[in-house]
Structure 1
Amino acid sequence: MISMSLLSRIHQLRLRFAPRGKTTPIISALELRPLRDDTYITTNGSLKLLKRYYASDFLGPSIRYPSDVYDREWKPINLSFGLNFVNPSLNVNSSTPYELPQDVISKAITNKNVTEKLSFDWYVDNREDQALIFLHFAEIQTLKGNDTREFDIIWKGNDGNITISAYRPSKLQLETLYNTSPMKCKFMQCTVELVMTKSSTLPPMISAMEAYQIIDFSDAETNPEDVVEVQNVRATYELSKIDWQGDPCVPRLFKWEGINCSYTNASIPPRIISL
């Protein structure tokens, strides 16, 4: 069984099962759990998961379905000796589009040394790759009258820095912050820093983070009208050709046998010109 979560607004789902030899590729089951249209938004391409971590102690388990209704898998952050694990056993209001599990958002980590920045690193595949990061916050500690938790969120990229200044987590309320425009990482290493402001008395706190790489589809799919017509031909003549599976023209290496297609460029859907 294959269990998949759709991690962005997916207009086209492309699965390629390339035949090897004379056998026909098969699949037993495919589960899709689509998210809301107002989460994990990207203007182009799809999202490849790089990291998804939540605050936990050293023995924390991975969290997924049924705790996470979308079957996202949350792995515990690898705690170092400079981090504190915070678990006050309070319920957090997570009624936001992201719907994080209570087991994820009701815990957090902070620095033991309040003056140090809290940072996260991850890597992309190539220098030109772009990335998105989603940071999940909630204030889960009871602050004293003179206490303030305030920090800057800084992402250093090749295109400049993205900074959210003087952020204060909301009391027992999930909030998700992310970069609205994808950024390239320096030397393929992406780094996000939470830096305590001068007016803050408490260190930065975070409950969970997700990092994604933008994946662009290199080829447009075959013109949909042509696809309908060739499928009608297959049904009318009861053709059972092994390679007549998936998209008729793309990828070119695996186009349907006996079909000729015209290719203009990668952004224009190819047309079936002869059969």
Structure 2
Amino acid sequence: MGAFSCDLTGRTVLVTGASSGIGRRFAVILAAAGAKVVAAARRGELLDAVCAEIAAAGGEAQGVVLDVSQEASVIAAFDAAEARFGPVDTVVANAGISLPGSALGLGVDDFDATMAVNVRGPFLTAREGARRMVAHGIGAAGRGRIVLIGSITGHHAYPGIVAYGAAKAAVAQMGRLLAKDWANKGINVNTLAPGYMATDMTSALWDIAKGRRLRESFARRRIMPIDALDPMLLYLCSDASAPVTGGVFTIDDGQTL
């Protein structure tokens, strides 16, 4: 094996949920590592800002409006990516929603919406990516990379997030199963399971008593910065990760200890 490198020059990466939070961070750092980035999300105006930031730093990016829960929208996003940059060889399925609340009061519509975005979404995104990697010979070259974004809530119980936690548990197992299915097709599938981070989704939590108690329960009594996933993400998207598939990588600063 050659020297370790996370240089992504020559790669085209589609990132879902790229308009804010860790998805936005992913798009920016992947572009900085040399990849051409397709930033996909539902909020087009925010994608424009992400792409402008990437361009200002010398990178290449395109924004694509995408609803990951809808198959036609996923297909259209890959079509747009190919039209601009050519075949996508790397997928980061990050899009997700969280609708907290007691399971006793959780509405069926909210439950279904969580599953549609957090489980059906990564499945549709990964499957469409894999289909095209096979069709374009990317898999045959052993260069297919798919990274699903799970969560520590998928394997560690926290109150008030039953639908979200169940969905993230499904994502982790989905990653293992897809890795098994596609192991002989040259496509690696891995899952990142981050702990609580300083993002838009959780920012309000740390200012209330519930959030403060949660933070104090962590071994290091702190929240991870938004760049905590950078090294592992870049590695899993790179040629250096060729022998790594079916993994679930917990990065939580010891929060689940």
Structure having the higher helix fraction is: 2
TM-score by length of 2: 0.27
Larger Rg: 1
Larger fraction in strand: 1
